[in-house]
Every structure is written in structure tokens, then in C-alpha cells.
Chains A and B, each alone.
Chain A
Amino acid sequence: MRKPSFTTVMLIAGLVFLYLPMIILVIYSFNSSRLVTVWAGFSARWYVELFRDQQILSAVWTSLRIAFFSASMAVCLGTLAAFVMVRFARFRGKTALSSMVTAPLVMPEVITGLSLLLLFVHMAQLIGWPADRGMVTIWIAHTTFCSAYVAVVVASRLREVDLSIEEAAMDLGARPVRTFFQITLPVIAPALAAGWLLAFTLSLDDLVIASFVSGPGATTLPMVVFSSVRLGVSPKINALATLIILAVSLATFLAWYLMRRSEARRRQAMLQDMTAGR
């Protein structure tokens, strides 16, 4: 066997670096000892305790609802923004739009969180809304930064779409709206799904922005986790981490499986076309 190259070794080492801490978390979630660092035998007690913790359960429910609605709204806004950036000719405001799409990708969260909170406080003073901060304000904040991510994902797909099919539909008399829903949308659907999932995980994961714009009524999962881990390592959080890692791994595996299947089908269709042509 030939000696593996330097970059291959780095890739393997990098992957080990990325996964080892998570594997350690998973292993220690089955530790029966409260001391996370000492192994005292296999036990699932922390999972039982996790599912008895009302505070965590209600925070999970709050976070899931916010993530669902933020991701859905972000897909609508982000797709529109992507469409404008990729398909529309230059117009005044296009540069502004594309800056406002790329800047949230890198903007430090403390700045975004602070600025949105101050906006909400001002709006409450001026127009009396939002009177209370909570799920709605978190939803607005998450929608805003998530739509930037969706726009980037959808735009990169949109650039690869063959324009001639849309043009053909329009030539045949389809109105732009109909062309969009019948031609463009099915083609970019995988990107919309990817964008929705990305927005969903980003919203579920956000601590800093939600902490700024939330009110007393809405406590999201990361807020509960943060206030718990601040005090030190806690085995219940290890159990929660294991479940999150499991869910994301399953979803990723499913996505990979679907992508591979559609790829195989496409290859087969191509093969059929080629043999039919002969």
C-alpha cells in the first residue's frame, strides 16, 4: 500500500478532532456517577431524569415551535431574496439587499441581539408593539438571520438552473407566477428543503440573540442548557447532547441516502437515454 499523503492524514486527524469530544459526551451520558469524570458503570438514569425535567421539556417545545415558524418564514423571505439577487437585472437597492444578505452570516451575535432588542424597545415606545417580548420577537430575530442563510443556499442552486426551460414555459404563454410554481419551484425544491433544515437547526441552536430579545415568558432550550452548564458539567446535559447528536446524525444519514438514490436514478436514466439513442 502506498503511503497516505499529508493532506489525507490531516483530513483524518481533523475528523477525529471534530468527533472525539462528541463521542466522549455520548459515552459519559451513560455513566451512572454524578461525577462526570469518573466512570462508575453503565446506566440510563440521566435519560430518565432528563425526561422528568419539566423545565427542559417545556423549553424544548418552545424552541421547536420557534424554529419551525422561523425556518418556514425564512424560506419564503430567503427564496425571494435569492431570486432578486440571481435573476433580476441591476436596480437601485440591489447592492443594499445583497449586503444585508451577506452581513448577517458573519455579524457577531452580540451586535445583532443588542440591536434588535433596542429596535423592539423603540417600537414598543413609538407604536406600542411589541408590548411584551417573547416568542414573537425571537421569531422575528431568527427569521431575519436565518433568511440570509436560506438566500445563500437557494441562490447557489438557482444559478445552476437551466434558464431555457423557464423561457420555454414563458414562450408557451405561462405567466411568470405560474412558471415559478410549476417549473422553477420543483427544480429548486431540494435547495429549499436544505435551507429550511439549516434555518431550523440555526434557530434551535441560537442562545445569544434569543437571550437579548426574549422576555420572561419565553425560555428556549439553549437558555436552559446555558444556565445549567455555566455551573459546571452536568450528566443530564450529556444525555440531552446525545439525543441531539443522534437526531442530527439520523437526519444527515437520511439526506445522504436520498441524495445518493436520486443520483443513482439520474445516472440510470442517463444510461437508458444513451442506450435508447443507439
Chain B
Amino acid sequence: MTNLTARLQRLFKPGRGWVIAVPLLWLTLFFLLPFGIVLKISLSEAAISIPPYGPIFDYANETLNVIVTFSNYLFLTTDTLYVSAYWGSVKIALLATVLCLAIGYPMAYAMARAPAHWQLVLLLLVMLPSWTSFLIRVYAWMGILSNNGLVNNVLIWAGLIDSPIRMLNTNFAVILGIVYAYLPFMVLPLYANLTRLDTSLLEAASDLGSRKFNTFLRVTLPLSKGGIIAGSMLVFIPAVGEYVIPELLGGPNTVMIGKVLWEEFFHNRDWPVASALAMVMLAILIVPIALFHRYQSRELEE
């Protein structure tokens, strides 16, 4: 009993309660609750009305009818477009993440080993592009990759090819765009992790006769696992739902789920199917998000 009153007192101590309540309420209302609404609408029927979906609860003749339909989810399985869009998104995002890691890890490693007065400059140089404009950085590749773009012009001028190679509007361009746009987000957590690496461990390994590469494989790599997970999730999860990059750089063969969802919503105005698409995407991403959360909360709370 005293325990309970103490707890209540602590909770309602002026100030403390408010400090907790304000961000908690804001995020619950504008981040958590919306997912519930998406779920609800994914279970309702499409209708020609404003807004374009039917009611779930219907009160008529003194009875409350709950109309729940799974037809939107079933519809996703009948059309191969959706299945291939999910599969395509995961495949492209996975490939882009691996490439980001392969480029980003050596970069972060070199940054962490750079002289102290260089580290801040390098960090700012890597992050600066991400502070400009995502849209414009993706757009930059349109001029470089197009049929009469820079790369093709240079190749033709050098006599290496006779007619332009089609690079824009392909999956290659989409992967390149994702790697380019998300690379800073891979480097940042890796760098943060690698700077904290205890160098005495590496010295110990080399004193014990370990080769450089062996030390990297056995000591550095396992210790930077947290950074690898955080960086990979920061690239993979948003990349799966990416809309801008496949829209600008992708072609007719690029089916990614973010783009399909956008088209269902804005062009077909089928809100229930768009909601079902979002719920399934969320279900696919829930494990990666949980993985990221576990790492991030360890970072924040320690």
C-alpha cells in the first residue's frame, strides 16, 4: 500500500508527470494511433464516397453491425503485382544495404583511424550531402545516367560504345540511387561505433601474434556488430518503402511496394487496399524495426 502511494506520489509530483505526458501523448496520438486507423480501414470495404471507404460499425434497426472484410488482404494475394512488388522491394533494398555496408564500413574505419583533428571534418563531409536535399540528390543521377546523359556521352566520345547504354529507368539505377542517398546513414553509426573501439584490444591481439586481417575478423568485426546492425537497418527499412527513387530512376520493370502503395492511393483512390498494403509492409518490417529499436535503446539508455 505504501509502495503504491509512493509510486502515485512520484508520478504526480508536479512537473514530472507533465514532462512524461506531453511527448508520450503527442507521439501516441500522431504516431501510434494512426496505425490503428490504417488497420481499421484495411478491414473496410472500398466505397464511392468521401472518404472512399465503407463504415466498419453500422448502427441500424437497434443492432450494431460490425462489418469486417478481409477481402483487401485476399485481393493482395490474387494479383501477382503485389507479391512481386513486395519481393522486388526486399530484394532491391537488401542488395543496396549490402553495397552500402561494403562501401561504408571501410570509410567509417578510415575515419575512426584518422588523426583526431581530421575526424570532425571527415564526419561533416560525409553527412553534408544528407543535409542538402534528398530529392535533388536523386535527381542529379537522372542527368548523369540518361541516354544522352554524362556517362553515355563520355563513353561515346571515348569510342568505347557506339550507341548509348540504357541505364536510367532500370533496377541498376534504383540500386545506385538508394546506395547514394543512404550511404551517410550507414557510415554514421559505424563510425560512432568504431571510434569507441578499445584500441588496446587490437594491440593485445597483435602482441599475441595475430595478423592484421585476422585481428579485424576476430576482434574489430564482432565488436562493431551493433554499428553494422544499426547502419543496415537505417538503410534497409526505409529503402523497402522507398517511393521517390523508383519513381525517378526506376523503369516499367521496377515494381517496388512504396510506389505501388502511392499509386493505389493517389491514382486509384483505393484507400482500403493502400491500407492493407501498408499493414503487410509493416508486418514484413516489424522484425528489422525491433532489431533497430533494441540497438538504439541500448545506445540511448546504456
Contacts and interface: CB of A to CB of B under 8 A. Distances in A.
A169 interface: no
Nearest to B282: A111
Interface in A34-81: 35-37, 77-78, 80-81
B157 interface: no
Contact of B107 (A14, A237, A248, A252): A14
Interface in B165-186: 180, 183-184
Nearest to A77: B23
A110 B261 contact: yes
A256 B121 CA distance: 8
Nearest to B42: A118
B104 A115 contact: no
A111 B238 contact: no
B300 A141 contact: no
A248 B134 CA distance: 13
B26 A77 contact: yes
B82 interface: no
Kindly state the interface size class of chain B when it binds its partner.
Answer: 35 or more
Contact of B106 (A6, A35, A102): A6
A156 interface: yes
A25 interface: yes
B17 to A, nearest CB: 10
A123 B81 CA distance: 33
B95 interface: no
A131 interface: no
Given A98-B301, A252-B124, A225 B136 contact: yes
Given A80-B19, A256-B120, A119 B111 contact: no
Contact of B265 (A24, A114, A122, A205): A114
A190 to B, nearest CB: 13
Contact of B110 (A8, A104, A152): A8
Interface in A109-146: 109-112, 114-116, 118-119, 121-122, 125, 140-141, 143-144
Contact of B128 (A83, A121, A198, A252): A252
Given A114-B38, A205-B134, A230-B248, A93 B103 contact: no
Nearest to B266: A211
Nearest to B260: A110
A37 B121 CA distance: 33
Contact of A7 (B11, B110, B131, B296): B110
A117 B234 CA distance: 24
Contact of B24 (A96, A176, A259): A96
A255 B19 CA distance: 30
B254 to A, nearest CB: 15
B104 A14 contact: yes
A40 to B, nearest CB: 14
B219 interface: no
Given A85-B300, A207-B135, A208-B243, 13 more contacts: A10-B107, A11-B122, A21-B144, A22-B132, A108-B240, A110-B258, A115-B34, A118-B275, A125-B51, A143-B26, A244-B132, A248-B132, A256-B120
A99 interface: yes
Contact of A233 (B134, B146, B237): B146
Nearest 10 A/B pairs, CB to CB: A108-B241, A115-B34, A10-B106, A7-B110, A11-B110, A81-B23, A21-B140, A106-B237, A100-B27, A119-B34
Given A21-B141, A207-B135, A233-B146, A119 B23 contact: no
A225 B150 CA distance: 22
A274 interface: no
A168 interface: no
A21 B238 contact: no
A104 B293 CA distance: 10
A241 B258 contact: no
Nearest to A176: B15
A19 interface: yes
B300 A84 contact: no
